[in-house]
Structure 1
C-alpha cells in the first residue's frame, strides 16, 4: 500500500473521530494507536510512549505555558479597561470611533495575552455593552470584537506562532517579527471596514445612523467623564454617539496614556530581548510572566490568593490541553513520516506540472475547511508534519507561509460551526442573537482574505522586518 493511500486512510479516520466529538488530543492519540496496529505492529507500541515523552522533553516548549500565564495575569486585571479607554481617547474622533477603538484595544491586548478567546472576552465584556448603549447596530458592535479577537494569534507574542516555529524548526523570533507588520495592517483594515460599513448603513437608511443620544459628560467606559475631558456637547446638552467626535484635553490624554505605557513597555522589552538574541523564547516568557505579576500588583493592587489560584488553574488547563495536542500530534506525525507519507506527497506534488500558486490555494482551502471544526493549534500540529516538506519543495518562504497560514486560521475563529470567537462573544453578550453576531463577523472573513492576497503580492511585508532586525533573508 502506498504512503499516499495510508495517509488518506489515517486522515479520514482522524476526521471521523473529531466529527464524532472526540476531543482533538484524544482523537490524535487514538488515531496514532490504530495506525500502529494496522500499518506497523502491536510490538511497536513502545514507539508511542517514547515519542510522546521525547516530543515534550524540550526546553523551548516552556514558552507556551509561560506566555499563557502572562496572558492569564493580564486577563484577570483591569488592563483591558484601561486599554479600551486609552484607544478611545486617542483614536475615537471618527465615525465608528468606539468600534475602531475596540479593535485597537484588542490589538494591544493581544500583545499582552497572545490569545484570541481571552482578547475577545476581556475587551468585549466592556466594549459591547457600551457600543450598544450608544446606539451602535448590534452586528457592528459584536463583529468588531469577534474580528479584533482574532489578532491574538497573529500579533506577537503568539502561542500559535510559537507552535508553528517548534513544529517546523523555524526561528520563533523571526516569526514574531514577521507578524508585526501584518498585524498592524490587519488592524487598520478592520478599522477601515468599520468606517465603510457604518457609512453604507447611513446611506441605506437615508438618515443619521445613530439616532440615540448619550448624556453629556459620559466617558467611553460608561461612567462620568473626568473634569478635564473637555467633551463637546450639543445645544440641548446631549451627545450623539457616532455623529460627533468626542473631544478630550491633552491633559486627559496624557493621563490615560501613562496608565497603559508600563504594560506596553513590558511587551516591547520581552520581545526585544527575544529579537536581539539576549534571551530564548522560554526565558523571555518567564520574564514577561514575572513582570505581569509585578505590574498588576503595583498598578491595580488586586492580586490576592484567590486570583493567583484562578490564574494557576487557567494556565494549567489551557497549557495541559495544548501539550497533549503537541504530544499526540508528534506521535502521529512521526508514524506518518516512518510510513513515507510526507515524502511521497512532496514528491508527487513536485512532479505535477501545476503552478505552485494553485497548490498554495489548495492548501489554504484545506486550512480554511479545517478551521471550521478544529482550533488553530491543532491545525498546525496536524498538518505541518505532512505539508511543510511540500511548502519547502515549492520554494515558499517558511516564515511568510507561517504568517499567511495564521491569517487563514483567523478566518476559522469567526466562521461557523465551531468559530470559537463567535461563541465567546455570545457568552459575554447573551442578549445579542447569534445571527447578529454571525452577520457582523462574516465580512471580516473577506477582509482577512484580502489581507492574504496583499501578503501574496507583497511578501516583503512579512520578510522585511526579520531580515532587517536579524540579518536573515
Structure 2
C-alpha cells in the first residue's frame, strides 16, 4: 500500500475507534500500535512507551492542570452568579441589557475559567430563567448563553491555546495576547446583535405585556460589583505577570490557581471538605483526560511520521497547486467538520501533525492561524446538531425545546463565520497586540 492509502485507512480506523466509546487518549495509542505492527517494524514499536512517557514529562504541560484547577475552583463557586448580578445591575435599563449582561458575563467568566461548557452551565443556570421571566425570546436567551460560553477557549487563559502552543512550539504568551482583541470583538458583536434583536422585538411587541425593568441606585450597583473585582484581579495578574516577563506560563498558572482558591475560601467560606472535594475531583478528572490525550496524540503523530503519512499528505495537498486563500478555506472546512464531532483539544492534537507542515511550507502565521482555528472550533461547540454547548444549555434549561436552542445559536454561528473572514482580510486583529508587546515574531 502507498502512504496515501495507509493514511486513508488510518482515517477510517481513527473515526471508528473514536466513536466506539474508547477514551480518546488510549484509542490513539491503540491505533498507533496496530498500524506500526502492520506497516512498521519492531524498532518502531520499541519507541512507543518512551514517547508516551516523555511527552508527559514536559515541564510546559504543568500549565494545563493548574489552569484546570483555576477553572474548576471558580466554576464551583458563586463567582458566576455574582459577576452576572453585577453586570445586570449596570445594564438593566439598556434595551436588551439583560441579554448583553449575560453575554458579557460569559466573556468575563470564560476568561477566568477557560472552559466553554462550564461557562455556559454557570451563567446559563442563572441567566436563562431570568431572561425568560422577563419575556426575552427563548431563542435569543439560550442562543446568547451557548455562544457566549464558547469564548472560554478564546479569551485567555485558554486551555485550547495552551495545547496549540505546546504542539506547535509557539509562545503561549503570544497566543494569549493574540486572543484578546478577537475575543473582545466577538463579545461586542454578540452584544450588538442582542441589542438589535431586543429593539426589534420590543417594537413588534410594542410594549404590551412587558415586564418592567428593575432599577438600582448607584450604591447598589457599586456594592454588586465588589465581589466580582477580586476575580477580575486574577485576569489582571495573569496578564501582568506573563507579559512583563516576571513569570513563565506555568508559574503564572500556579499563582492564578492559588489566588482563585484563596478568594473562594475567604469570600465564600468553601474550606470544608464537602466544598473542596468537588473542585479537586473535577480538576484531576479533566487534567488526566487532557494529559492522556496529549500523550496519545504524541504517539499518534510519531506513527504518522514514521510511516511517512504526514509528509505524503502534505506533498499531496501541495500537489493540488492551491492558492493560499484556497488552502485556508480548505483547512477551515476540515476543522469545522471535525469540530462537530470532537472536542477542541482532540481536534488540535490529532490534526496539527498533518496541518503544521502545510502551514509552515505555505508561510502562514501560526499565531494568526491559532485564533482562526479556535474560533472555528468554537463554532463546532454550538453548531447543530452535535454542538456540546447545545446539550449543556438543554441540561440547565430543560423547559426550552432543543429545536429552539439550535435555532437560537444560528445567528451567532453566522457572526463567528463572518468574523473568520474579517480575520482573513485583517490578520492584524490577531497579530497586532502580541507584536506590539512582545516584538514581531513567528
When normalised by structure 2's length, the TM-score is: 0.96
1:254 maps to 2:252: no
1:183 maps to 2:151: no
Q: Equivalent residues in 2 for 1:393-408 (5 A)? A: 393-408=361-376
**How far off is 1:466 after superposition?**
0.2
261-270 or 142-151, which deviates more: 261-270
Q: Are the structure 2 counterparts of residues 36 and 404 from structure 1 closer, same or farther at C-alpha, using a change threshold of 3 Å?
A: same
Q: Are the structure 2 counterparts of residues 192 and 210 from structure 1 closer, same or farther at C-alpha, using a change threshold of 3 Å?
A: farther
147-156 or 82-91, which deviates more: 82-91
Aligned to 2:95: 95
Taking the aligned partners of 1:136 and 1:252, their CA distance within structure 2 comes to 24
Taking the aligned partners of 2:208 and 2:22, their CA distance within structure 1 comes to 46
Q: 2:280 aligns with which of 274, 299, 312?
A: 312
- Residue pair 1:154, 1:161 contacting (<8 A) in 2 also: yes
- Residue pair 2:96, 2:199 contacting (<8 A) in 1 also: no
- Residue pair 2:371, 2:430 contacting (<8 A) in 1 also: yes
1:279 maps to 2:254: no
Taking the aligned partners of 1:405 and 1:327, their CA distance within structure 2 comes to 21
Secondary structure of residue in 2 paired with 1:395: coil
Aligned to 1:2: 2
Stretches of structure 1 that go unaligned for 5 or more consecutive residues are: 214-238
Aligned to 1:146: 146
- Residue pair 2:340, 2:386 contacting (<8 A) in 1 also: yes
Taking the aligned partners of 2:351 and 2:63, their CA distance within structure 1 comes to 22
**How far off is 1:139 after superposition?**
1.2
Higher helix share: 2
- Residue pair 2:385, 2:406 contacting (<8 A) in 1 also: no
Q: Are the structure 2 counterparts of residues 443 and 23 from structure 1 closer, same or farther at C-alpha, using a change threshold of 3 Å?
A: farther
Aligned to 1:296: 264
Aligned to 1:19: 19
Taking the aligned partners of 2:208 and 2:179, their CA distance within structure 1 comes to 36
**How far off is 1:395 after superposition?**
1.6
Aligned to 1:223: none
**How far off is 1:4 after superposition?**
2.6
**How far off is 1:21 after superposition?**
3.6
Q: 1:353 aligns with which of 321, 337, 347?
A: 321
Q: Are the structure 2 counterparts of residues 181 and 350 from structure 1 closer, same or farther at C-alpha, using a change threshold of 3 Å?
A: same
- Residue pair 2:144, 2:409 contacting (<8 A) in 1 also: yes
Taking the aligned partners of 1:120 and 1:42, their CA distance within structure 2 comes to 47
Aligned to 2:416: 448
1:111 maps to 2:105: no
- Residue pair 2:67, 2:157 contacting (<8 A) in 1 also: yes
Taking the aligned partners of 1:160 and 1:180, their CA distance within structure 2 comes to 14
Secondary structure of residue in 2 paired with 1:35: helix
Secondary structure of residue in 2 paired with 1:182: helix
Secondary structure of residue in 2 paired with 1:299: helix
Taking the aligned partners of 2:261 and 2:150, their CA distance within structure 1 comes to 25
Aligned to 1:219: none
- Residue pair 2:110, 2:149 contacting (<8 A) in 1 also: yes
Taking the aligned partners of 2:201 and 2:296, their CA distance within structure 1 comes to 48
Taking the aligned partners of 1:93 and 1:26, their CA distance within structure 2 comes to 52
Aligned to 1:211: 209
Secondary structure of residue in 1 paired with 2:246: coil
Secondary structure of residue in 2 paired with 1:396: coil
**How far off is 1:121 after superposition?**
0.8
Aligned to 2:231: 263
Taking the aligned partners of 1:13 and 1:308, their CA distance within structure 2 comes to 41
Taking the aligned partners of 2:26 and 2:60, their CA distance within structure 1 comes to 24
Taking the aligned partners of 1:134 and 1:45, their CA distance within structure 2 comes to 62
How many residues of Structure 1 are paired with residues of Structure 2 in the alignment?
A: 441
1:387 maps to 2:355: yes
- Residue pair 1:426, 1:437 contacting (<8 A) in 2 also: yes
- Residue pair 1:140, 1:194 contacting (<8 A) in 2 also: yes
Secondary structure of residue in 2 paired with 1:432: coil
Taking the aligned partners of 1:450 and 1:284, their CA distance within structure 2 comes to 34
Aligned to 2:426: 458
**How far off is 1:247 after superposition?**
4.2
Taking the aligned partners of 1:339 and 1:45, their CA distance within structure 2 comes to 12
Q: Are the structure 2 counterparts of residues 401 and 67 from structure 1 closer, same or farther at C-alpha, using a change threshold of 3 Å?
A: same
Taking the aligned partners of 1:337 and 1:202, their CA distance within structure 2 comes to 58
